[in-house]
């Protein structure tokens, strides 16, 4: 997953370091990520992973690092227990 996130960051933004050198917890804003760049990254992430960020995840914190982006992706790809369909006994 981090390889795909790095590729998107490299394509959508201009940071102070190449995306290949980013560590998972590096603060992307400290490295030059702008609010507009964060939007571009999150939209590209949605396309790549076929997800849609909820309003609660559309925050500065979600785009702050590759780890926070990966966590948001995981939270959207993992079904919540409430979303599971109960089975009927036949």
CA distance 34 to 4: 20
pLDDT digits (tens, 9 = 90+) for 40-88: 999 999 999 999 999 999 999 999 999 999 999 999 997 766 555 555 5
**Tokens 């590759």 -> residue:** 66
Residue 61: predicted pLDDT: 97
């Amino acid at each position: 997953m981090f390889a795909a996130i790095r590729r998107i960051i490299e394509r959508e933004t201009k940071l102070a370091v190449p995306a290949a050198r980013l560590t998972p917890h590096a603060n992307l804003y400290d490295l030059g990520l702008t609010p507009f760049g964060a939007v571009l990254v999150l939209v590209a992430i949605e396309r790549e992973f076929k997800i849609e960020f909820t309003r609660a995840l559309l925050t500065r914190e979600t785009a702050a690092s590759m780890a926070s982006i990966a966590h948001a992706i995981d939270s959207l790809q993992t079904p919540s227990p409430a979303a599971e369909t109960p089975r009927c006994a036949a």
